[in-house]
Protein backbone atom coordinates (compact mmCIF):
# COMPACT_ATOMS: atom_id res chain seq x y z
CA UNK A 1 0.00 0.00 0.00
CA UNK A 2 1.44 3.39 -1.06
CA UNK A 3 1.75 5.93 1.72
CA UNK A 4 1.21 9.52 0.64
CA UNK A 5 3.59 12.14 1.94
CA UNK A 6 1.78 14.73 4.11
CA UNK A 7 1.11 18.05 2.43
CA UNK A 8 3.67 20.79 3.08
CA UNK A 9 2.06 23.37 5.41
CA UNK A 10 2.66 26.93 4.21
CA UNK A 11 1.38 29.50 6.70
CA UNK A 12 1.32 33.21 5.83
CA UNK A 13 0.73 35.65 8.68
CA UNK A 14 -0.68 38.99 7.50
CA UNK A 15 -3.14 39.69 4.71
CA UNK A 16 -1.85 43.06 3.56
CA UNK A 17 -0.86 43.85 0.00
CA UNK A 18 2.07 41.43 -0.06
CA UNK A 19 0.66 38.67 2.13
CA UNK A 20 -2.64 38.43 0.28
CA UNK A 21 -0.93 38.48 -3.11
CA UNK A 22 1.39 35.67 -1.98
CA UNK A 23 -1.45 33.55 -0.56
CA UNK A 24 -3.47 34.02 -3.76
CA UNK A 25 -0.62 33.07 -6.08
CA UNK A 26 0.49 30.10 -3.98
CA UNK A 27 -3.12 28.95 -3.69
CA UNK A 28 -3.53 29.11 -7.46
CA UNK A 29 -0.37 27.08 -8.05
CA UNK A 30 0.32 24.83 -5.06
CA UNK A 31 -3.03 24.87 -3.27
CA UNK A 32 -4.90 23.15 -6.08
CA UNK A 33 -3.05 19.86 -5.58
CA UNK A 34 -2.10 17.73 -2.60
CA UNK A 35 1.54 18.74 -2.34
CA UNK A 36 1.04 21.87 -0.25
CA UNK A 37 -1.60 23.42 1.98
CA UNK A 38 -1.67 27.21 2.07
CA UNK A 39 -3.16 29.10 5.05
CA UNK A 40 -3.47 32.85 5.53
CA UNK A 41 -3.85 34.32 9.04
CA UNK A 42 -5.15 37.84 9.62
CA UNK A 43 -6.80 39.70 12.49
CA UNK A 44 -9.29 41.35 10.13
CA UNK A 45 -12.02 39.68 8.09
CA UNK A 46 -11.43 41.83 5.00
CA UNK A 47 -8.69 43.59 3.08
CA UNK A 48 -8.36 47.20 1.91
CA UNK A 49 -5.23 48.31 0.06
CA UNK A 50 -3.31 50.37 2.63
CA UNK A 51 -2.14 53.17 0.26
CA UNK A 52 -5.84 54.09 -0.11
CA UNK A 53 -6.44 54.71 3.60
CA UNK A 54 -5.87 58.47 3.32
CA UNK A 55 -8.82 58.55 0.90
CA UNK A 56 -10.94 56.59 3.38
CA UNK A 57 -10.00 59.09 6.11
CA UNK A 58 -10.91 62.05 3.89
CA UNK A 59 -14.19 60.43 2.84
CA UNK A 60 -13.47 60.23 -0.87
CA UNK A 61 -13.37 56.41 -0.78
CA UNK A 62 -15.91 54.01 0.74
CA UNK A 63 -13.82 51.33 2.43
CA UNK A 64 -16.82 48.99 2.65
CA UNK A 65 -17.25 49.09 -1.12
CA UNK A 66 -13.51 48.60 -1.73
CA UNK A 67 -12.90 45.79 0.74
CA UNK A 68 -12.18 42.20 -0.27
CA UNK A 69 -13.41 39.42 2.01
CA UNK A 70 -10.64 36.99 2.94
CA UNK A 71 -12.94 33.96 3.17
CA UNK A 72 -14.27 34.55 -0.34
CA UNK A 73 -10.76 35.12 -1.73
CA UNK A 74 -9.59 31.90 -0.05
CA UNK A 75 -12.48 29.95 -1.56
CA UNK A 76 -11.84 31.30 -5.05
CA UNK A 77 -8.07 30.76 -4.94
CA UNK A 78 -7.59 27.45 -3.12
CA UNK A 79 -6.13 28.53 0.21
CA UNK A 80 -7.52 28.53 3.74
CA UNK A 81 -8.22 31.64 5.82
CA UNK A 82 -7.78 31.66 9.57
CA UNK A 83 -9.23 34.64 11.44
CA UNK A 84 -7.03 35.77 14.31
CA UNK A 85 -3.92 37.60 15.45
CA UNK A 86 -0.56 35.89 15.87
CA UNK A 87 0.61 36.26 19.48
CA UNK A 88 3.37 33.66 19.75
CA UNK A 89 5.64 31.21 17.99
CA UNK A 90 6.92 27.77 18.97
CA UNK A 91 9.86 27.28 16.62
CA UNK A 92 10.84 23.90 18.11
CA UNK A 93 7.42 22.41 17.32
CA UNK A 94 6.90 24.66 14.27
CA UNK A 95 3.61 26.09 15.47
CA UNK A 96 2.11 29.58 15.25
CA UNK A 97 -0.06 30.64 18.18
CA UNK A 98 -3.21 32.67 17.52
CA UNK A 99 -4.77 34.88 20.19
CA UNK A 100 -8.38 34.36 21.32
CA UNK A 101 -11.00 36.27 19.32
CA UNK A 102 -13.71 38.22 21.13
CA UNK A 103 -16.88 40.06 20.08
CA UNK A 104 -17.70 43.72 20.74
CA UNK A 105 -18.82 42.88 24.26
CA UNK A 106 -15.59 41.07 25.10
CA UNK A 107 -17.11 37.57 24.91
CA UNK A 108 -14.79 34.93 23.51
CA UNK A 109 -15.72 33.71 20.02
CA UNK A 110 -12.70 31.52 19.36
CA UNK A 111 -10.18 30.24 21.92
CA UNK A 112 -6.42 30.55 21.69
CA UNK A 113 -5.20 27.99 19.19
CA UNK A 114 -2.17 27.05 17.08
CA UNK A 115 -1.34 26.02 13.53
CA UNK A 116 1.50 23.83 12.33
CA UNK A 117 3.83 25.10 9.63
CA UNK A 118 6.62 23.67 7.51
CA UNK A 119 7.24 27.06 5.92
CA UNK A 120 6.19 30.23 7.72
CA UNK A 121 5.97 33.64 6.01
CA UNK A 122 5.51 36.71 8.19
CA UNK A 123 4.00 39.72 6.41
CA UNK A 124 2.31 41.66 9.21
CA UNK A 125 3.17 45.08 7.78
CA UNK A 126 3.81 48.11 9.95
CA UNK A 127 2.09 50.37 12.44
CA UNK A 128 2.57 54.00 13.37
CA UNK A 129 5.58 54.76 15.55
CA UNK A 130 4.89 57.35 18.25
CA UNK A 131 8.55 57.22 19.42
CA UNK A 132 7.32 57.36 23.02
CA UNK A 133 6.23 61.00 22.67
CA UNK A 134 3.75 61.94 25.41
CA UNK A 135 0.14 62.35 24.32
CA UNK A 136 0.37 60.78 20.86
CA UNK A 137 -1.50 57.59 21.76
CA UNK A 138 -4.21 59.53 23.63
CA UNK A 139 -4.87 62.38 21.22
CA UNK A 140 -3.76 61.33 17.72
CA UNK A 141 -5.31 58.97 15.20
CA UNK A 142 -3.01 56.79 13.12
CA UNK A 143 -3.95 55.46 9.70
CA UNK A 144 -2.82 51.85 10.06
CA UNK A 145 -6.22 50.20 9.52
CA UNK A 146 -9.52 50.95 7.75
CA UNK A 147 -11.15 51.23 11.19
CA UNK A 148 -8.79 54.05 12.19
CA UNK A 149 -9.34 55.82 8.86
CA UNK A 150 -13.11 55.56 9.30
CA UNK A 151 -12.80 56.85 12.87
CA UNK A 152 -11.04 59.99 11.67
CA UNK A 153 -13.60 60.47 8.90
CA UNK A 154 -16.49 60.28 11.37
CA UNK A 155 -14.80 62.86 13.61
CA UNK A 156 -14.24 65.17 10.64
CA UNK A 157 -17.85 64.87 9.44
CA UNK A 158 -19.13 65.44 13.00
CA UNK A 159 -17.01 68.59 13.31
CA UNK A 160 -18.41 69.92 10.03
CA UNK A 161 -22.02 69.16 11.03
CA UNK A 162 -21.47 70.77 14.43
CA UNK A 163 -20.15 73.89 12.74
CA UNK A 164 -23.08 73.92 10.30
CA UNK A 165 -25.74 73.80 13.02
CA UNK A 166 -24.20 75.97 15.73
CA UNK A 167 -25.97 79.21 16.52
CA UNK A 168 -22.93 81.45 16.31
CA UNK A 169 -20.66 82.00 13.32
CA UNK A 170 -18.00 79.48 12.48
CA UNK A 171 -14.74 80.76 13.89
CA UNK A 172 -11.66 80.88 11.66
CA UNK A 173 -9.78 77.61 12.06
CA UNK A 174 -12.58 76.06 14.13
CA UNK A 175 -12.10 72.85 12.14
CA UNK A 176 -8.35 72.41 12.40
CA UNK A 177 -6.61 69.23 11.33
CA UNK A 178 -3.02 68.86 12.45
CA UNK A 179 -1.08 66.19 10.57
CA UNK A 180 2.29 65.17 11.98
CA UNK A 181 4.49 63.74 9.24
CA UNK A 182 5.30 65.27 5.86
CA UNK A 183 5.86 62.04 3.97
CA UNK A 184 3.47 60.70 1.34
CA UNK A 185 0.69 59.78 3.80
CA UNK A 186 0.57 63.17 5.49
CA UNK A 187 0.81 65.17 2.27
CA UNK A 188 -1.80 63.08 0.46
CA UNK A 189 -4.22 63.25 3.39
CA UNK A 190 -3.93 67.05 3.61
CA UNK A 191 -4.57 67.46 -0.13
CA UNK A 192 -7.50 65.02 -0.06
CA UNK A 193 -9.11 66.82 2.92
CA UNK A 194 -8.71 70.10 1.06
CA UNK A 195 -10.85 68.70 -1.77
CA UNK A 196 -13.46 66.78 0.21
CA UNK A 197 -14.24 69.68 2.56
CA UNK A 198 -15.04 71.78 -0.50
CA UNK A 199 -17.35 69.01 -1.67
CA UNK A 200 -19.11 69.12 1.70
CA UNK A 201 -19.63 72.85 1.34
CA UNK A 202 -21.14 72.40 -2.13
CA UNK A 203 -23.54 69.76 -0.77
CA UNK A 204 -25.38 72.39 1.26
CA UNK A 205 -23.21 73.00 4.31
CA UNK A 206 -23.13 76.66 3.37
CA UNK A 207 -21.94 77.81 6.81
CA UNK A 208 -18.61 76.09 6.18
CA UNK A 209 -16.28 78.25 4.14
CA UNK A 210 -13.36 75.93 3.31
CA UNK A 211 -10.99 78.89 3.00
CA UNK A 212 -11.88 80.22 6.46
CA UNK A 213 -13.48 77.45 8.54
CA UNK A 214 -11.00 74.69 7.69
CA UNK A 215 -7.34 74.88 8.65
CA UNK A 216 -4.96 72.16 7.49
CA UNK A 217 -1.54 72.05 9.14
CA UNK A 218 1.39 69.80 8.23
CA UNK A 219 4.16 69.41 10.82
CA UNK A 220 7.37 67.55 10.02
CA UNK A 221 10.83 67.06 11.49
CA UNK A 222 12.44 67.15 8.04
CA UNK A 223 13.48 70.44 6.49
CA UNK A 224 11.10 69.92 3.55
CA UNK A 225 7.98 67.98 2.66
CA UNK A 226 8.46 64.59 1.00
CA UNK A 227 12.14 64.35 2.00
CA UNK A 228 12.46 61.03 0.15
CA UNK A 229 11.90 62.73 -3.21
CA UNK A 230 14.35 64.94 -5.12
CA UNK A 231 14.46 68.56 -3.97
CA UNK A 232 12.90 69.92 -7.17
CA UNK A 233 9.86 67.66 -6.75
CA UNK A 234 9.59 68.42 -3.07
CA UNK A 235 9.65 72.14 -3.81
CA UNK A 236 6.99 71.73 -6.50
CA UNK A 237 4.71 69.87 -4.10
CA UNK A 238 5.29 72.49 -1.38
CA UNK A 239 4.28 75.23 -3.82
CA UNK A 240 1.05 73.41 -4.68
CA UNK A 241 0.26 72.78 -1.01
CA UNK A 242 0.83 76.47 -0.31
CA UNK A 243 -1.58 77.40 -3.13
CA UNK A 244 -4.22 75.22 -1.43
CA UNK A 245 -3.80 77.16 1.79
CA UNK A 246 -2.18 74.26 3.65
CA UNK A 247 0.23 75.40 6.37
CA UNK A 248 3.62 73.71 6.59
CA UNK A 249 5.88 73.71 9.63
CA UNK A 250 9.09 72.01 8.53
CA UNK A 251 12.04 71.26 10.80
CA UNK A 252 9.76 71.03 13.84
CA UNK A 253 10.00 67.99 16.13
CA UNK A 254 6.79 67.38 18.05
CA UNK A 255 7.72 66.73 21.70
CA UNK A 256 4.23 66.60 23.23
CA UNK A 257 0.66 66.27 22.03
CA UNK A 258 -2.14 67.83 24.07
CA UNK A 259 -5.92 67.71 23.61
CA UNK A 260 -5.88 71.06 21.80
CA UNK A 261 -2.66 70.83 19.82
CA UNK A 262 1.03 70.00 19.53
CA UNK A 263 4.16 71.40 21.16
CA UNK A 264 7.40 71.36 19.14
CA UNK A 265 11.03 71.36 20.25
CA UNK A 266 11.36 75.07 19.48
CA UNK A 267 8.55 75.93 21.91
CA UNK A 268 6.00 76.51 19.16
CA UNK A 269 2.45 75.40 20.03
CA UNK A 270 0.30 74.48 17.04
CA UNK A 271 -3.42 74.44 17.83
CA UNK A 272 -5.51 71.63 16.35
CA UNK A 273 -8.95 70.17 17.07
CA UNK A 274 -8.16 66.87 15.30
CA UNK A 275 -4.72 65.30 14.94
CA UNK A 276 -3.29 62.53 12.76
CA UNK A 277 0.08 60.92 13.41
CA UNK A 278 1.94 59.86 10.25
CA UNK A 279 5.49 60.57 11.36
CA UNK A 280 7.07 57.14 11.20
CA UNK A 281 6.49 53.41 11.25
CA UNK A 282 7.63 50.35 13.14
CA UNK A 283 6.82 46.66 12.92
CA UNK A 284 4.16 45.27 15.31
CA UNK A 285 5.32 44.61 18.87
CA UNK A 286 4.69 40.86 18.63
CA UNK A 287 7.78 40.44 16.43
CA UNK A 288 10.05 41.23 19.38
CA UNK A 289 8.67 38.19 21.26
CA UNK A 290 9.44 35.53 18.65
CA UNK A 291 13.09 34.93 19.51
CA UNK A 292 14.25 36.18 16.09
CA UNK A 293 16.65 39.11 15.54
CA UNK A 294 15.00 42.51 15.00
CA UNK A 295 16.29 46.03 14.41
CA UNK A 296 15.50 49.33 16.16
CA UNK A 297 12.17 49.56 14.31
CA UNK A 298 11.22 46.04 15.46
CA UNK A 299 11.53 44.71 11.90
CA UNK A 300 12.71 41.13 11.48
CA UNK A 301 16.22 41.05 10.08
CA UNK A 302 16.27 38.93 6.93
CA UNK A 303 18.86 37.75 4.46
CA UNK A 304 18.66 38.49 0.71
CA UNK A 305 16.67 35.23 0.42
CA UNK A 306 14.09 36.89 2.75
CA UNK A 307 14.78 34.18 5.35
CA UNK A 308 15.13 35.13 8.99
CA UNK A 309 17.68 33.50 11.31
CA UNK A 310 15.42 30.42 11.06
CA UNK A 311 15.59 28.87 7.58
CA UNK A 312 11.93 27.81 7.76
CA UNK A 313 10.71 31.35 8.49
CA UNK A 314 10.56 34.10 5.87
CA UNK A 315 9.54 37.75 6.35
CA UNK A 316 8.87 40.47 3.82
CA UNK A 317 7.21 43.84 3.33
CA UNK A 318 7.24 46.59 5.93
CA UNK A 319 7.90 44.18 8.82
CA UNK A 320 11.22 42.97 7.35
CA UNK A 321 14.63 44.63 7.25
CA UNK A 322 16.12 43.39 3.99
CA UNK A 323 19.63 44.65 3.14
CA UNK A 324 20.31 46.70 0.04
CA UNK A 325 23.40 45.72 -1.98
CA UNK A 326 26.68 47.17 -0.77
CA UNK A 327 25.47 47.82 2.76
CA UNK A 328 23.53 50.91 1.69
CA UNK A 329 20.77 50.46 4.23
CA UNK A 330 17.59 48.42 3.96
CA UNK A 331 14.84 48.12 1.39
CA UNK A 332 12.36 50.99 1.89
CA UNK A 333 8.89 50.22 3.22
CA UNK A 334 6.92 50.66 0.01
CA UNK A 335 4.09 48.80 -1.66
CA UNK A 336 6.25 48.20 -4.74
CA UNK A 337 8.86 46.40 -2.59
CA UNK A 338 6.21 44.14 -1.01
CA UNK A 339 4.85 43.31 -4.47
CA UNK A 340 8.33 42.44 -5.77
CA UNK A 341 9.09 40.32 -2.72
CA UNK A 342 5.79 38.44 -2.96
CA UNK A 343 6.63 37.54 -6.56
CA UNK A 344 10.08 36.31 -5.50
CA UNK A 345 8.65 34.20 -2.66
CA UNK A 346 6.35 32.35 -5.03
CA UNK A 347 9.52 31.10 -6.73
CA UNK A 348 11.39 30.65 -3.45
CA UNK A 349 8.79 28.40 -1.88
CA UNK A 350 8.64 26.22 -4.99
CA UNK A 351 12.43 25.93 -4.81
CA UNK A 352 12.18 25.03 -1.13
CA UNK A 353 9.69 22.26 -1.90
CA UNK A 354 12.03 20.94 -4.59
CA UNK A 355 15.14 21.25 -2.37
CA UNK A 356 16.77 23.74 -4.72
CA UNK A 357 18.80 26.88 -3.86
CA UNK A 358 16.70 29.92 -3.12
CA UNK A 359 16.85 33.07 -5.28
CA UNK A 360 17.97 36.34 -3.72
CA UNK A 361 15.94 39.52 -3.69
CA UNK A 362 17.27 42.64 -5.42
CA UNK A 363 15.19 45.79 -4.92
CA UNK A 364 14.19 47.64 -8.08
CA UNK A 365 13.19 51.24 -7.47
CA UNK A 366 10.61 52.34 -10.03
CA UNK A 367 10.18 55.74 -8.42
CA UNK A 368 7.45 57.38 -6.35
CA UNK A 369 4.12 59.02 -7.09
CA UNK A 370 2.22 61.36 -4.80
CA UNK A 371 -1.42 62.36 -5.37
CA UNK A 372 -2.45 65.85 -4.28
CA UNK A 373 -6.17 65.14 -4.28
CA UNK A 374 -7.91 66.24 -7.47
CA UNK A 375 -5.44 69.10 -7.71
CA UNK A 376 -2.49 67.24 -9.22
CA UNK A 377 -0.28 64.19 -9.12
CA UNK A 378 3.51 64.39 -9.25
CA UNK A 379 6.16 61.74 -9.24
CA UNK A 380 9.68 60.67 -9.85
CA UNK A 381 10.18 57.65 -12.14
CA UNK A 382 13.54 55.92 -12.29
CA UNK A 383 15.21 55.54 -15.66
CA UNK A 384 16.34 51.89 -15.75
CA UNK A 385 19.34 52.67 -17.95
CA UNK A 386 20.72 55.85 -16.40
CA UNK A 387 19.36 55.38 -12.87
CA UNK A 388 18.23 59.04 -12.87
CA UNK A 389 14.77 60.22 -11.88
CA UNK A 390 12.32 61.47 -14.49
CA UNK A 391 9.71 63.96 -13.32
CA UNK A 392 6.08 63.22 -14.24
CA UNK A 393 2.99 65.19 -13.34
CA UNK A 394 -0.56 65.97 -14.39
CA UNK A 395 -2.93 63.52 -16.05
CA UNK A 396 -0.18 61.07 -17.03
CA UNK A 397 1.07 60.89 -13.45
CA UNK A 398 -2.51 60.50 -12.19
CA UNK A 399 -3.11 57.56 -14.50
CA UNK A 400 0.14 55.95 -13.39
CA UNK A 401 -0.81 56.46 -9.73
CA UNK A 402 -4.13 54.68 -10.27
CA UNK A 403 -2.39 51.91 -12.21
CA UNK A 404 -0.54 50.88 -9.01
CA UNK A 405 -3.87 49.86 -7.46
CA UNK A 406 -4.87 48.17 -10.70
CA UNK A 407 -1.71 46.04 -10.57
CA UNK A 408 -2.65 44.98 -7.03
CA UNK A 409 -6.14 44.03 -8.24
CA UNK A 410 -4.66 42.05 -11.11
CA UNK A 411 -2.49 40.07 -8.70
CA UNK A 412 -5.56 39.20 -6.63
CA UNK A 413 -8.26 38.77 -9.25
CA UNK A 414 -6.71 38.14 -12.66
CA UNK A 415 -7.42 40.06 -15.86
CA UNK A 416 -11.08 39.20 -16.47
CA UNK A 417 -12.41 39.91 -12.98
CA UNK A 418 -10.30 43.07 -12.63
CA UNK A 419 -11.62 44.38 -15.97
CA UNK A 420 -15.19 43.72 -14.80
CA UNK A 421 -14.55 45.45 -11.46
CA UNK A 422 -13.10 48.53 -13.17
CA UNK A 423 -15.99 48.61 -15.66
CA UNK A 424 -18.57 48.34 -12.88
CA UNK A 425 -16.88 51.14 -10.96
CA UNK A 426 -16.86 53.32 -14.08
CA UNK A 427 -20.59 52.72 -14.65
CA UNK A 428 -21.53 53.35 -11.02
CA UNK A 429 -19.41 56.46 -10.49
CA UNK A 430 -22.00 58.99 -11.79
CA UNK A 431 -24.58 57.57 -9.35
CA UNK A 432 -22.36 57.85 -6.26
CA UNK A 433 -21.54 60.96 -4.20
CA UNK A 434 -17.91 62.01 -4.46
CA UNK A 435 -17.64 62.05 -0.68
CA UNK A 436 -18.93 59.61 1.93
CA UNK A 437 -21.25 61.49 4.29
CA UNK A 438 -21.52 59.00 7.17
DSSP letter for each residue of 245-265: T-EEEET--EEEEETTEEEET
Do both 146 and 190 map to the same domain?
yes
Output phi, psi for 157, to 5 deg.
-65, -45
234: in domain: yes
Domain assignment of residue 194, yes or no: yes
- At residue 430, the pLDDT reads 54
Total number of domains constituting the chain: 2
My answer on whether 144 and 274 are in the same domain is yes
Q: Nearest to residue 312, comparing CAs of 363, 358, 272, 367?
A: 358
Q: What is the pLDDT of residue 374?
A: 67
Say which DSSP state 20 is in: H
Residue 432 lies in a domain: no
pLDDT value at position 375?
Answer: 60
Indicate whether 272 and 146 sit together in one domain. yes
Q: Which of 332, 353, 374 is the last residue of a domain?
A: 353
Query: Which of 353, 377, 404 finishes a domain?
Result: 353
* Structural domain harbouring 68: 8-126+283-353
Residues 168 and 274 grouped into a single domain: yes
Question: Do 331 and 217 sit in the same domain of this protein?
Answer: no
Q: Is residue 430 part of a domain?
A: no
- Residue ending a domain, among 280, 298, 319, is 280
pTM of the model: 0.90
The pLDDT value recorded for residue 35 is 85
Q: H or E stretch including 96?
A: strand 95-98
Q: Which residues in 87-117 are b (16+ Cβ under 10 Å) and which e?
A: eebebeebbbbbbeeeeeeeeeeeeeeebeb
Specify whether 102 is located in the same domain as 182: no
CATH number for position 334 = 3.50.50.60
**pLDDT tens-digit map of 233-253:** 888 889 999 998 999 999 999
Residue-level pLDDT at 1: 43
Phi-psi map region of 220: left, alpha, beta (phi>0 left; psi -120 to 50 alpha): beta
Q: What stretches in the chain show pLDDT beneath 50?
A: 1-2, 385-387
Within-domain flag for 3: no
Amino acid sequence: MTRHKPAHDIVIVGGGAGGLELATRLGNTLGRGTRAKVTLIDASASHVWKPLLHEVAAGSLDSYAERLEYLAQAHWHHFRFCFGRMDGLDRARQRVWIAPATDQNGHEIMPRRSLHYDTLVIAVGSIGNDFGIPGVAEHCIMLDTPEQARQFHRRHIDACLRAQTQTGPVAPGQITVGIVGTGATGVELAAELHDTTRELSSYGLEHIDPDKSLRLVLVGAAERVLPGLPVRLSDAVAAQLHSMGIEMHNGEHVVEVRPDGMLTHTGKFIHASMMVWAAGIKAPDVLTTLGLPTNHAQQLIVRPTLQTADDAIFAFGDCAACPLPGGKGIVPARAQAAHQQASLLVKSIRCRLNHKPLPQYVYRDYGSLVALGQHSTVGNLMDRWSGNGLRVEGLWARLMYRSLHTLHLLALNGYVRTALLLLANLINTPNKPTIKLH
